[in-house]
Amino acid sequence: MKISAPDLKNLTCFKAYDVRGQLGTQLTKEVAYNIGRGYGELLKPETIVVGGDVRLSSESLKAATADGLRDAGVNIIDIGMVGTEEIYFATSHLGVCGGIEVTASHNPIDYNGMKFVSAGSRPISADTGLLDIKAAAQSQNWTHPKKPRGTYTKTSILDAYVDHLMAYIEPKNIKPLKLVMNAGNGAAGHVVDALEQALRAAKVPFDLIKIHHEPDPSFPNGIPNPLLPDNRADTTQAVRKYDADMGIAWDGDFDRCFLFDETGAFIEGYYIVGLLAEAFLQKKSPHNQSERIVFDPRVYWNSEDIITTCKGVPVMTKSGHAFMKQAMRDVNAVYGGEMSAHHYFRDFFYCDSGMIPWLLVTELLSVKNQPLSHLVKDRIAKYPSSGEVNYTVDDAAAVFKRIEAFDWGETPTVKHIDGLDFIFDKWRFNLRSSNTEPVIRLNVETRADTALLVEKFKLVESLIS
């Protein structure tokens, strides 16, 4: 079957937060060149960093993007095969004007994409310039820069990046732990290896068991996306086989990490947000008793409870990395977390990291001298949640209208921070539309009542379908 080349006047690979598209039909080297040229012509950076994940197409797409940038007069620093957060780190650490990571993260094997930041590792999304880059790439109305073609150099920031990661823990606090590390044959393996050396040098008593460790663009063990239940079995089995204290698995570009307790059970990202909030608030200076923690409105009762109990200040904002990062900057939050396993850190330039969370949780396990299952057991019982369930619908607006008109038998508080948030005394739910597909997403939680959770979930679901 012949693959139709993408229409350069109608680039469908641009999404709300990044570029993602099918190779050949939506994303090619020509498209990548124009995106790089558009970025350079529009933002006029002096120097940016570029990197790419393990996919077969990433190196050629990165080279084409760099060519476009250089033709716009931009100097390139190529940091090699890296995860997205290494681009975040390099942009701020090197003090350059921006960065581009070529990655498809957890998308199908025949896809690729790009993530963009400007100076200070600030995200470039649809609201902050991404659509302008799209327009420039489509118009191809290039100017001829007065300065010469940009330079190209290669460097590694791995040592400095690992030093930064190590600063989040106090090695003397950590007790012996056996950890399963599942890189999913993605980009995380080289960082795990470098961290292992740094941890040994600091005399941190970790025993790391690595599975699916080597980068492999064929993804022989499946596309790395532990958010999908079908992709968790290998980590669960390894934790049980090796009698490990915890399992950690990453997606392809490792900006998200997923944790498994000592029984191999997957821990929903929602409850990890609470753990990390507690970890930061316990570390805070006694002179600053009001650290802000940002979270998204899909599920939040547990996070809110922990933050206020630890004398922090809870701040809710719309889901999505651009909103989370801006909200954190606005209130100078020390940490922000989403149920989707994106975790953001003030000292990491307000960016998300898939490496910092597991390091912090290991320290918390050691300080509290409890296994992970015990740390989350009471929280799950206190605030049980449904997890996010997606529904394909023809008319999302009609569903939302039906939900708002329904007679609930009690008067809820209704908020519209992100979709619909209906809050009752003992339960609540959030319903929001996807930015990229005809899908609505439902989350339900209750106050210590699993029977009520099941009952109300079925009720809301009946109004959707």
> Residue written as tokens 């933002």?
43
Q: Are 186 and 192 in contact (CB under 8 A)?
A: no
Give 434's DSSP letter: -
Closest CA to 23 of 6, 39, 41, 46: 6
CA distance linking residue 28 with residue 24, whole number of Å: 6
Q: Which two tokens stand for residue 61?
A: 């797409």
> 153: how many CB neighbours lie within 10 A of its CB?
9
Angle formed by the axes of helices 356-368 and 372-382, nearest 10°: 90
For residues 446-457, b (16+ Cβ closer than 10 Å) or e, as one string?
A: bbeeeebbeebb
Q: Which residues pair with 20 in a beta bridge?
A: 113
Cβ neighbors of 8 (< 8 A, separation 6 or more) are: 30, 31, 34, 137, 138, 140
Cβ neighbors of 401 (< 8 A, separation 6 or more) are: none
Domain 19-156 grouped into CATH 3.40.120.10: yes
Give 331's DSSP letter: H
CA distance linking residue 395 with residue 361, whole number of Å: 42
Lowest pLDDT segment from 45-49, 71-75, 319-323, 354-358: 319-323
- Is the predicted pLDDT of residue 288 greater than 90, yes or no? no
CA distance linking residue 216 with residue 238, whole number of Å: 20
Q: pLDDT tens for residues 213-233?
A: 999 999 999 999 998 899 999
**What is the structure's pLDDT at 7?**
81
Tell me what the mean pLDDT of segment 237-262 comes to: 98
- Is the predicted pLDDT of residue 164 greater than 60, yes or no? yes
Annotated active-site residue in 57, 105, 118, 385: 105
Band of residue 1 on the pLDDT scale cut at 50, 70, 90? very low
Q: Which one-letter amino acid corresponds to residue 31?
A: V
44 torsion bin: left (phi>0), alpha (psi -120 to 50), beta (else): left
> Residue written as tokens 């997205």?
84
Q: Are 48 and 83 in contact (CB under 8 A)?
A: no
**What is the structure's pLDDT at 4?**
66
DSSP E strands in 139-291: the ranges are 152-154, 177-182, 206-211, 246-250, 257-260
Q: Are 319 and 417 in contact (CB under 8 A)?
A: no
Angle formed by the axes of helices 158-166 and 84-93, nearest 10°: 90
Q: Are 192 and 208 in contact (CB under 8 A)?
A: yes
Band of residue 465 on the pLDDT scale cut at 50, 70, 90? confident
Query: What's the CATH superfamily of 174-266?
Result: Alpha-D-Glucose-1,6-Bisphosphate, subunit A, domain 3 (3.40.120.10)
Mean pLDDT of the chain: 95
Tell me what the mean pLDDT of segment 35-51 comes to: 97
**What is the structure's pLDDT at 144?**
65
**What is the structure's pLDDT at 143?**
80
Domain residue ranges in the chain: 19-156, 174-266, 389-464
Cβ neighbors of 278 (< 8 A, separation 6 or more) are: 306, 310, 364
- Is the predicted pLDDT of residue 183 greater than 80, yes or no? yes
Tell me what the mean pLDDT of segment 71-83 comes to: 97
310 torsion bin: left (phi>0), alpha (psi -120 to 50), beta (else): alpha
Q: What separation in angstroms does the CA of 342 have from each of 27, 39, 80?
A: 26, 26, 23
In this chain, the answer to whether the domains covering 19-156 and 389-464 adopt an identical fold is no
CA distance linking residue 460 with residue 451, whole number of Å: 15
Q: What DSSP string describes 203-222?
A: T--EEEEEES-S--TT-TT-
**What is the structure's pLDDT at 372?**
98
**What is the structure's pLDDT at 392?**
95
**What is the structure's pLDDT at 287?**
47
Per the annotation, the verdict on 373 as an active-site residue is no
CA distance linking residue 227 with residue 234, whole number of Å: 13
User: Which CATH entry fits the domain spanning 389-464: 3.40.50.2300, 3.40.920.10, 3.30.413.10, 3.30.310.50?
Assistant: 3.30.310.50
Closest CA to 212 of 2, 54, 409: 54
Give 4's DSSP letter: P
Q: Which residues pair with 114 in a beta bridge?
A: 19, 102
**What is the structure's pLDDT at 273?**
98
Tell me what the mean pLDDT of segment 47-53 comes to: 98
Q: pLDDT tens for residues 276-286?
A: 999 998 876 55
- Is the predicted pLDDT of residue 346 greater than 90, yes or no? yes
Closest CA to 384 of 462, 453, 335, 316: 453
CA distance linking residue 51 with residue 214, whole number of Å: 18
Radius of gyration of the chain (CA): 22
Q: Exposed/middle/buried for 222, CB within 10 Å: 0-12, 13-18, 19+? A: middle
